[in-house]
Chain A
Amino acid sequence: MTGIRLELRAQCPWWLNILLPLTAVGATLVLCSGLVVLAGADILTAYSKLFLSSLSTAFNRVETLVKAAPLVFTGLAVTVAFRAKFWNIGAEGQLLAGAMAAAFIGARPGLPAWSLVPLMIAGGALAGSAWALVPAVLKTRYKVDDVVTTLLLNFVLFYAMMALLDGPWKDPLSGYPDSPDIRMESEFPILLRATRLHLGVLLAALAAAGVWLLLRHTTLGFEIDAVGENPNAARYAGINLTAVILFTAAVSGALAGLAGVGEVAGIHFQVMAGLSPGYGYTGIVIAMLARLNPVGVVPAAVFFAIIITGAEAMSRATGVPVFLADVIQGMALVTMLAALMLTQYRIRWNRPEHA
């Protein structure tokens, strides 16, 4: 009789942290190739278009970075929250809250021009924090499940936003359900001429460094890990669980909010229905691929930015629908979760009987 069984590992070797995401991505591509074939395209052509087109020209490379910025923010937001086992599935809603605050502040005529960008950044971060604190307070005070509340509040915020955009906040000039454009002075400065490389991209890189610093080098990061890994031991050791969870939620929400600020101030200059094509949810996949390591979030976000930007080119060249990018995202989460099991267990093959 042969078969496989799982055995608990004593320790997880360091190289697994790099190997696992690569394995997961590889498995994802193999699994998704069936869909490429169904769409009637050649697998290699489709995948080479998907990955290489976004890196082919300098302009495309910059565009990929621009696309990666909100993903870095939401990936970091999820990373911080998940480290404390605050299951924030609500980065999408917090992103929209930040975007709405930024669009509102950025369009105020009465404010001095120099104050607009800082106020939008601060306002967007605060709005994201506030929206994330709602489920955090419900969790710490009333023990309401955070997965459910964070997820459902995304829809509450989205439809509230749409109601505003269809009513009092509708752009009077266009008549579309979009908010009025922000002022010229509110737009993020461009860092590279003739591209869309805006201040938000730099902020995302700084945020990654900041979150690394927080988690690796501060007492709060130390406490976040302790609370996440064993809340009982943390509580017995005198750590204030409520304070740590509320702080984590606030930071997580602020990061997601900044993703929204960047999209408004750097790309769209207004809020509208299609502002976020699910950046908040992609952030979860990114955080998992990065194994909740803020440094890993950056390459993981760039990887998804490549796929998202490359999907258009692939679709034009081979006829494979752009939705393949979404399938890859979803599948990557599944394969990564499966792969994560290997950090705790090793696979043993039962050898055939020896007499």
Chain B
Amino acid sequence: MESPNLLEMRGIAKRFGAVQASDGVDLTLKCGDILGLLGENGAGKTTLMNILFGVYAADAGRIAIDGRTISIHSSADALAHGIGMVHQHFHLVPRLTVLENLMVGQSGRGWRLDRGFALGRMREIERSLGLRLPPDARVGDLTIGEQQRLEIIKALIRGARILILDEPTAALTPQEAEGLFIALRAMAEQRMGVIFISHKLHEILAVTTRVVIMQQGRVVAETANDDTVSKKRLAEWMTGHEITPPSKVSTTPGRVRLRIENMQTRGGVRPSLKGVCLEVRGGEILGIAGVSGNGQAELADVIAGVLPASGGTLEINGTAVSRFTPGVVQALEVGRIPEDRMGTGLVTSLPLRNCMVLSRIRERRFSRWGFLKHRAIGDFADQQIRSFGIKAAGNHVATGTLSGGNLQKALLARELAWEPTLLLAAQPTRGLDIAAARFVHQRFLDLRGRDGAIVLISEDLEEIFALSDRIAVMFEGRIMDVLDIQAATVAKIGLLMAGVREAA
């Protein structure tokens, strides 16, 4: 007799205002399944998982585990039923040790925390799944990959048999991602179930056993991950039409747009730059690869004029920058796509139209004698919404109501409207679906074709390889090496990202 399914979701529906985020979704997970959940931004993957994890209540539908219908009202309920979730952003306490983080929220004996129990469970998981961590290391000292491992262990210690991973590889090196996949396969062998959300098709193909594709709140395709499945087919299922890769024409490097020599910053809370030298010319995309936290964000902040340098020189379009303010840098035709769209790019609680002109409001075009030209601002916002295909109910909606891909388009629309000659882009397609990412990439290549220079900071090596003319790898505040795209391989870059320089 066949055993009941590990997890069954039937007819799950959820409506947010006018949007049917989940429209009668059925999803089945068997023991030993690694289920890839694919879909564009706003297709309803996250909503579905949030319903499963007790963050939202479904309007309709039924959830069963081992054939028994259950009700989930909170994350605690979900955990009690053996459902664990690892979010994109970790929920860890950096000042505590690995073991202490595992004990947070666990009931101990009376007032005392049960260190022995947690340690024992940790050893068990290490033996059965190969997930190893030093129990007394401070979490703040762990790499992103290790912190993620800790999140997984935390879910397992709380008894998770179904593990939801939301874009787990976004911040990992290729080697770390491979390590994660090994652990996931081990869990599948232990008859657990994994739901794996990712935009990276090669990972879906590499690790999953089945793939479910969602579109506009519905499941549009479901398939076993066998030889008939290819990246191309998955992409077409997701978007509903054929995807053409961006066309990269050859350009001849023009004048020097950015020159950095021996750039240094003081450390402290943030990693410091220890003598960075770079040069980028017009018509060129310089990819900067590296594991996050090795100074890439700081490099971008220095060029953007937000973080003052403590040494070295910065030259933009032939002008030496001595005063580090965003205004000064903007005047030198620098555009900026920050990594943290919601935090430093847009003001989510303000109307979209305000965000569209945030950095240019004092220009004659949008204000005169200190008074706003509402009509001009609205017209400009509408025009950008149209030409970038931003899905929004109008230019008055709160910016934060847009989906991730549309937020990124809005940011691009603002920064590219001024024809910057140098564009700083950090993680420009993180969390974006294929169509949106292609759109962003095409705009970058357009700018490159118009003699613009782009500094592309990304943890997505596929992106770096697809766009860059040259690739620089950062490690601990230094540039390890700069490789021409013809000479670069994933293996070489991966080693450099880990701080290993090949012997000459």
Chain A residue nearest to B374 in the complex (CB): A217
Specify which of A217, A238, A240, A355 lies most central, judged by the most chain B CB atoms within 10 Å of its CB.
Answer: A238
What residues of B have a CB within 8 angstroms of the CB of A223 in the complex?
361
A222 and B347 contacting across the interface, CB-CB below 8 Å? no
CA distance A222 to B362 in the complex (A): 10
CB closest chain-B residue, reference A223 = B361
Interface residues of A in 1-52 (CB under 8 A from B): 1, 3, 5, 7, 10-11
State the Cβ distance, A229 to closest chain B Cβ, in Å: 5
Chain A 343-355 interface mask (CB, 8 Å, partner B; 1/0): 0000010100101
Per-residue contact bits, chain B 76-102, to A (CB 8 Å; 1 contact, 0 not) = 000000000000000000000000000
Let me know if B343 and A232 touch, CB within 8 A.
yes
Complex CA distance for A286 and B118, rounded to whole angstroms: 53
Say yes or no: A11-B398 contact (C-beta < 8 A), given A219-B362, A236-B336. Answer: yes
Q: Shortest distance in angstroms between B385's beta carbon and chain A's nearest beta carbon?
A: 17
Asked if A219 and B350 make an inter-chain contact with CB atoms under 8 angstroms apart, the answer reads no
Contact of B371 among A7, A217, A225, A230 (CB under 8 A): A217
- A11 — which chain B residues lie within 8 A by C-beta? 17, 397-398, 401
Contacts of B338 in A (CB 8 A): 236
In the assembled complex, the Cα of A230 lies from the Cα of B354 at a distance in Å of 12
Interface residues on B, range: 35 or more
In the complex, whether B303 has a CB less than 8 A from a CB of chain A is no
| 8 A Cβ contacts from B330-382 to A | 330, 336, 338, 343-350, 354, 358-359, 361-362, 367, 370-372, 374
Residues of B contacting A5 in the complex (Cβ-Cβ under 8 angstroms): 57, 73-74
Contacts of A232 in B (CB 8 A): 343-344
CB-based contact B56/A236 at 8 Å: no
Most chain B beta-carbon neighbours within 10 Å: one of A218, A235, A236, A350 = A236
A237 at the interface (CB under 8 A from B): yes
Please tell me if the beta carbons of B343 and A7 are within 8 angstroms of each other in the complex. no
* In the assembled complex, B326 has its CB within 8 A of some CB on chain A: yes
A226 at the interface (CB under 8 A from B): yes
A220 in contact (CB, < 8 A): yes
Residue B313 at the chain A interface, CB threshold 8 Å: no
A234 part of interface (Cβ distance < 8 Å): yes
* Residue B327 is within 8 A (CB to CB) of chain A in the complex: yes
Check A229 against B349 for contact (C-beta < 8 Å): yes
Beta-carbon contact of B361 and A222 below 8 Å: yes
Q: Are A236 and B345 in contact (CB under 8 A)?
A: yes
The answer to whether A236 and B326 have CB atoms under 8 Å apart is yes
Chain B residues lying within 8 Å of A229, measured Cβ to Cβ, are 347-350
The answer to whether A225 and B57 have CB atoms under 8 Å apart is no
Contact of B359 among A221, A238, A240, A355 (CB under 8 A): A238
> What's the least CB distance linking B50 to chain A, in Å?
10
User: Does chain B have a CB within 8 A of A144?
Assistant: no
Knowing A3-B73, A10-B401, A226-B354 touch, does A218 contact B371 (C-beta < 8 A)?
A: yes
Tell me how far the C-beta of B163 lies from the nearest C-beta in chain A, rounded to whole angstroms. 24
Q: B325 on the interface (CB 8 Å rule)? A: yes
CB pair A237–B372 under 8 Å, yes or no, is no
Q: For the complex formed, measure the closest distance between the CB of A199 and the CB atoms of chain B, giving whole angstroms.
A: 27
Cβ distance A1 to chain B, nearest Cβ, rounded Å: 7
Are A236 and B350 in touch, CB under 8 angstroms? no
Is A353 touching B71 in the complex (CB atoms < 8 A)?
A: yes
Q: Are A234 and B71 in contact (CB under 8 A)?
A: no
Q: B73 contacts A350, CB within 8 Å?
A: yes
Task: List residues 291-336 of chain B with CB under 8 A from any CB of chain A.
Answer: 304, 306, 325-327, 330, 336
A190 at the interface (CB under 8 A from B): no
Complex Cα–Cα for A5 and B69 (A) = 21
Select which of A7, A219, A355 is within 8 A of B361 by beta carbon: A219
Complex Cα distance A3/B325, Å?
Answer: 51
CA distance A345 to B358 in the complex (A): 27
Per the bound structure, the CA–CA distance linking A223 and B366 in Å amounts to 13
B78 to chain A, nearest CB (A): 14
Residues 240 to 268 of chain A near chain B (Cβ within 8 Å): 240
Are B343 and A237 interface neighbours, CB within 8 A? no
Cβ-based interface call for B16 (8 A): yes
A238 in contact with B325 (CB, 8 Å): yes
Q: How far is the CA of A233 from the CA of B367 in the complex (A)?
A: 20
Q: Are B372 and A225 in contact (CB under 8 A)?
A: no
Contact pattern, B 17-48, Cβ under 8 Å of A = 1, otherwise 0: 10100000000000000000000000000000
Q: A236-B306, A238-B326 are in contact. Are A348 and B57 (CB under 8 A)?
A: yes
Provide the residues of chain B in CB contact with A236, threshold 8 Å.
304, 306, 326, 336, 338, 344-345
Instruction: For the complex formed, measure the closest distance between the CB of B337 and the CB atoms of chain A, giving whole angstroms.
Output: 11
Contact between A230 and B73, CB atoms less than 8 A apart: no
Residues of A with C-beta under 8 A to B371: 217-219
Cα A189 to Cα B415 in complex, Å, equals 54
- Bound-complex Cα distance A137 to B358 (A): 25
- A315 to B4 Cα, complex, angstroms: 73
CA gap between A175 and B260 in the complex, in Å: 73
Residues on the B chain within 8 Å of A234, using CB: 347, 358
Subset of 22 A-B contacts with CB under 8 Å: A7-B57, A10-B19, A10-B401, A218-B370, A218-B372, A219-B362, A219-B370, A219-B371, A220-B370, A221-B372, A222-B372, A230-B347, A232-B343, A233-B343, A233-B344, A233-B346, A234-B358, A236-B304, A237-B326, A237-B358, A237-B359, A239-B358
Since A1-B71, A222-B372, A236-B304 are in contact, a sample of 9 more A-B pairs with Cβ atoms closer than 8 Å, ordered by chain A residue number, is A5-B74, A10-B17, A11-B17, A11-B398, A219-B361, A225-B350, A229-B350, A236-B344, A238-B325
Interface residues, chain A, with chain B CB atoms under 8 Å away: 1, 3, 5, 7, 10-11, 217-223, 225-226, 229-230, 232-240, 348, 350, 353, 355
Top 6 nearest A-B pairs (CB, nearest first) are: A237-B359, A238-B327, A230-B347, A238-B326, A237-B358, A229-B349
Chain B interfacial positions (CB closer than 8 Å to A): 16-17, 19, 56-57, 69, 71, 73-74, 304, 306, 325-327, 330, 336, 338, 343-350, 354, 358-359, 361-362, 367, 370-372, 374, 397-398, 401
